[in-house]
Each structure stands twice: as C-alpha cells, then as structure tokens.
C-alpha cells in the first residue's frame, strides 16, 4: 500500500471569522442549512470566486469543485458564454415584471429538447416548481392526495416535507416542525423502486390520488437510478387511475441528457419540474407539461400562481446561453469525464481495501460506503455516514470539494479537464489509503 504524504493543512482563519460574524445575522450563519457544515463538522468555507472546475475560498485555498451549486453549473463556474450574456442583459435592465422575448425563447428551447413540455411556466426556485406543479395537478384532477417516494427531495413545500409513517405506502407524518399533520397526511410515502408498494397505495387511495411525484433518477439520497420497469410502471399506474405523473427533473433536466431523464428512459410524464441547469447558475426554475393540464393555471384557468421575478431577464439569458452549449457531443464528453471520475473512485478504494459502491447516471455520481447494490432509501441509510465524513475532510485538505453531507450527488461538469481530474485522482488515492480498509 502506498504511504500517503502528510496532507497539507487548510488555511481557515478568514472563513472562521466570517462564519462567526455570519452567525450573528444569518440563521445558523447560512441561507440554506447544508452550507453550515453541520453534517461534516468544522467551519464552512466562504467562497470568494470560481472559474471552470475551480473554486477559491476567502483564505486563498483552491479546490476542484464537485458540488457545482448543487448541480446547477453543468458548464463549470463563470463560463464566458454565460457571463457575457448576463452582463449584456444587466445593461438592458435587471427586471421588468413584464413580458420579455427571452422567456419565450428559453421556453421554446426547453420544449425542443423535451417535447412533453407543451406549455411551461417559469418560476424562481425548484421548490416553487414542484409546489406549483402539484397545485396544478390537484386543480386538474380535483383530487387531493399525493404519492411521493422515501428519499426523494422535492423542495421544502409543506406537503413534501414528510416521512413515511409506520408500514408501507403509508400516509406521511411531518418531517419538519411547522408542517400541519393534516397537510402531511395528504402525502402518501412509498418505497423508491418498489412498484408493489405503489400498487398498494393505489389500491387504498387510488381515486383520491392527484399525482405521483418522483425524481426519475433519485439525486437526493446519493444517486439511485430507477430500476428497470419502475418509471414505466408508474406511468401505467397513474394512467389507469386517472392520476398525473410528475417528473421532478430539477436535477436531471439537461443533466443526464438533453431530453432529461424522460428522454434517457423513454417515459413521458404529464408534468415536469425543472430548475438548476435551466437557470445557468441564476435563480430560474419551471414547471410544464401537457397543454390541457397547464391550462388550469392562471390566467387561463382557476389555479393561481405568480411571481414578481419569474422569468427574470438575467436568469433567462443565463439559461439560454447554457442550453446553447449543451449539444449531443457535449453530453458524450461529459459522460466520458464522469465515467473516468467514477472509475477513479473505485480504483482508489480497491487499492486501499475500502468497500464502496458507486451509482452513476450521466454526470450524477453517488458514492456509498456500502457492500452491494444501493437501490432504495433503506440501502442508502445502511451505508456508513462517518466514513463519508472522513473522506470529505481528507479530500478537502487535498484540494477537492465534494458535498459537505453524505448522500448527495457528486457533479462533474464539462469544465472538469485533465488537470482537475488528475488532481482529483491523486487526492482520492491518498485519501482512501490514509483512511485504510
């Protein structure tokens, strides 16, 4: 076994001071909980700048970034094509709260890639997209219940912050204080990749189910691909029961291929939620789908939904510039990069005698300290969180930044070049051998 070099120490004085100050004004020092590093301990990095695959913190440490704004930055940080159009858009005015042509163009570009999106509505966050899609589904079907899956995250709307009750396909219990039980109970939680569980849910609640919402590739419990026939089964079940199928493609949209997961797996949902990549790193998200369903949304129909900054010109410009870069050949290269990255993790782990499992769909990579396949939330829960935390710090000290929490997706981008990948491989080799079997 190779003897690991002593890892360099991180400079952290400025980030520590910034965090102390932040905690006196921002809740927990952050604006989204995972950024506080509670899962990994220690001081969160305060980021100064990013370029390509790199980020630099305010202490001057540089890292190869695999968080990439949680998957939003498929082209890496500050790609010139995006920065230029955002600058130009800003010169023309940052927001009007009125119609602009860029919204139409981005909508059309999305429909060309994802033909199921016949009509679309832009919003500002993934949370708004899923919340609004569910409201539209309820308005269209005139039903109330929702089926979601254990381990899938769809943003923080009340009805989505639920965990499974006792037993399978159970009505949900609140997973957050502040969520009324009455709302959580209208969400039924089923097991991912377990069609029988969904069948049971439909047997009990079929005529009340407005929609099934699913991450077609789960990206919020590490990465868990859909089992063969799972998405097809959800399609058939929802169709048979007059319910709608909602694909939450906030992560997978324009990431696992130009046509998203629906293109990759050839299953067509009624409604699709998008976010992250379509905003090119600015706040944009969307929901859309069948024309008859989307026609229930105001101003055409009785389901109300609106947004002051929805379709924001800077976000639309960034999204359009990003989608223009994403050709079939781009996905081919990204696939190659991601395959190399995944193989590198396995090689490093094997050399050090560490048991890991990886799942990968396109440029979504999941790493689990688990023996055997990871196909659902129970498998994810059975993998070792502490081992991930140790790896996180070992990698960070060697200049590689992965998510500061276990069970998140790792996101290579088109900007991850050989220099970044070689550094990552050295860091992986050393981190795993430092840790030992």
Of 153, 287, 377, 401, which residue is the catalytic one?
A: 153
Find the shortest distance in angstroms from Cβ 139 to ligand PMP: 20
- Helix (H/G/I), strand (E/B), else coil: 199: helix
Instruction: Classify residue 324 as left (phi > 0), alpha (psi -120 to 50) or beta.
Output: alpha
Q: Is 248 in the site for ligand PMP (CB under 6 A)?
A: yes
The C-alpha atoms of residue 303 and residue 375 are separated, in whole angstroms, by 36
**Least distance in Å: CB of 353 to ligand PMP?**
33
Using DSSP's 3-state secondary structure scheme, residue 196 falls into: helix
- Pick between residue 53 and residue 151 the one whose CB is nearest to ligand PMP: 151
Residue 155 makes contact with ligand PMP by CB under 6 A: yes
Nearest-CB residue for ligand PMP = 126
One residue of 15, 125, 363, 394 binding ligand PMP per CB under 6 A: 125
Work out how close the CB of 223 gets to ligand PMP at its nearest, in angstroms, rounded to a whole number: 11
Looking at the Cβ atoms of 131 and 352, the one nearer to ligand PMP is 131
Structure tokens that stand for 403 in this block: 């998510």
- Which segments of 326-417 does DSSP mark as H helices, in order? 328-352, 377-381, 385-397
153 is catalytic: yes
- Pick from 121, 154, 258, 264 the residue near ligand PMP by CB under 6 A: 154
**Nearer to ligand PMP (CB atom), residue 75 or residue 285:** 285
Indicate the residue among 12 and 252 with the shorter CB distance to ligand PMP: 252
User: Which of these segments, 9-17, 43-51, 248-256, 357-365, binds ligand PMP (CB under 6 A)?
Assistant: 248-256
Residue 331 is a catalytic residue: no
Q: Does 70 bind ligand PMP (CB under 6 A)?
A: yes
**Integer Cα distance of 375 and 36 in angstroms:** 29
Q: Distance between terminal CA atoms of the chain?
A: 11
The reply on whether position 404 binds ligand PMP by CB under 6 A is: no
At closest approach, how far in Å is the CB of 130 from ligand PMP?
Answer: 5
By CB under 6 A, is residue 275 in contact with ligand PMP? yes
Contact 369, 437 (CB under 8 A): no
The closest of 13, 123, 8, 112 to 59, measured between CA atoms, is 13
**Binding residues for ligand PMP, total number by CB under 6 A:** 16
For residues 308 and 349, is the Cβ–Cβ distance under 8 A? no
Q: Are strands 54-57 and 170-171 parallel, antiparallel or unpaired?
A: unpaired
Only segment of 124-132, 142-150, 183-191, 391-399 that touches ligand PMP (CB under 6 A): 124-132
Is 251 an interacting residue with respect to ligand PMP (CB under 6 A)? Answer: yes
Residues 130-149 binding ligand PMP (CB under 6 A) are: 130
Q: Which residues from 81-110 bind ligand PMP, rule CB under 6 A? A: none
Partnered with residue 119 across adjacent β-strands are 289
Sign of CA dihedral 104, 105, 108, 114: negative
Helices 80-92 and 313-325 meet at what angle, rounded to 10? 150
Residue 215 interacting with ligand PMP (CB under 6 A): yes
Q: What value, to the nearest 5°, has the Cα angle with vertex 69 and ends 287 and 105?
A: 40
* Helix locations, 273-361, DSSP H: 291-294, 313-325, 328-352
Which chain residues interact with ligand PMP by CB under 6 A? 70, 125-127, 130, 153-155, 215, 219-220, 248, 250-251, 275, 285
- Cite the active site residues: 153, 248, 276
């Amino acid at each position: 076994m190779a003897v690991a070099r002593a890892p360099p120490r991180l400079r952290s004085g400025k980030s520590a001071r910034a965090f102390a100050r932040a905690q006196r004004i921002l809740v927990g020092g952050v604006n989204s909980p995972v950024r506080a590093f509670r899962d990994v301990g220690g001081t969160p990095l305060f980021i100064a700048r990013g370029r390509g695959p790199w980020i630099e913190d305010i202490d001057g440490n540089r890292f190869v970034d695999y968080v990439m704004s949680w998957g939003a930055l498929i082209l890496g940080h500050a790609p010139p094509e995006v920065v230029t159009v955002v600058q130009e858009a800003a010169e023309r005015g940052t927001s009007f709260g009125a119609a602009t042509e860029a919204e139409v163009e981005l909508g059309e570009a999305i429909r060309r890639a994802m033909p199921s999106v016949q009509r679309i509505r832009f919003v500002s966050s993934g949370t708004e997209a899923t919340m609004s899609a569910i409201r539209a589904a309820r308005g269209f079907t005139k039903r109330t219940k929702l089926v979601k899956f254990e381990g899938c995250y769809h943003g923080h709307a009340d009805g989505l912050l639920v965990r499974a009750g006792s037993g399978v396909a159970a009505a949900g219990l609140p997973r957050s204080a502040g969520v009324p039980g009455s709302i959580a109970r209208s969400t039924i939680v089923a097991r991912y990749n377990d069609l029988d569980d969904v069948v049971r849910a439909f047997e009990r609640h079929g005529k009340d189910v407005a929609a099934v919402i699913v991450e077609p590739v789960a990206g919020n419990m590490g990465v868990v691909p859909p089992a063969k026939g799972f998405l097809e089964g959800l399609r058939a079940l929802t169709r048979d029961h007059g319910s709608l199928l909602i694909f939450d493609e906030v992560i997978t949209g324009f990431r696992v291929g130009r046509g998203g997961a629906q293109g990759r797996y050839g299953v067509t949902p009624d409604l699709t939620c998008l976010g992250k990549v379509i905003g090119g790193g600015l706040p944009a998200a969307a929901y859309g789908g069948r024309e008859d369903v989307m026609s229930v949304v105001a101003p055409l129909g009785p389901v109300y939904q609106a947004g002051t900054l929805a379709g924001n010109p800077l976000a639309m410009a960034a999204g359009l510039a990003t989608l223009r870069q994403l050709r079939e050949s781009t996905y081919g290269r990204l696939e190659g990069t991601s395959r190399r990255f995944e193989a590198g993790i396995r090689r490093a782990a094997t050399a050090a005698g560490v048991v890991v499992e990886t799942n990968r769909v396109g440029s979504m990579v999941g790493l689990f300290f688990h023996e055997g396949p990871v196909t659902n939330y129970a498998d994810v829960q059975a993998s070792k969180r502490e081992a991930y935390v140790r790896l996180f710090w070992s990698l960070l000290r060697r200049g590689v930044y992965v998510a500061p929490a276990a069970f998140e997706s790792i996101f290579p981008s088109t900007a991850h070049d050989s220099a970044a990948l070689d550094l990552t491989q050295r860091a992986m080799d050393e981190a795993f051998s430092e840790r030992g079997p």
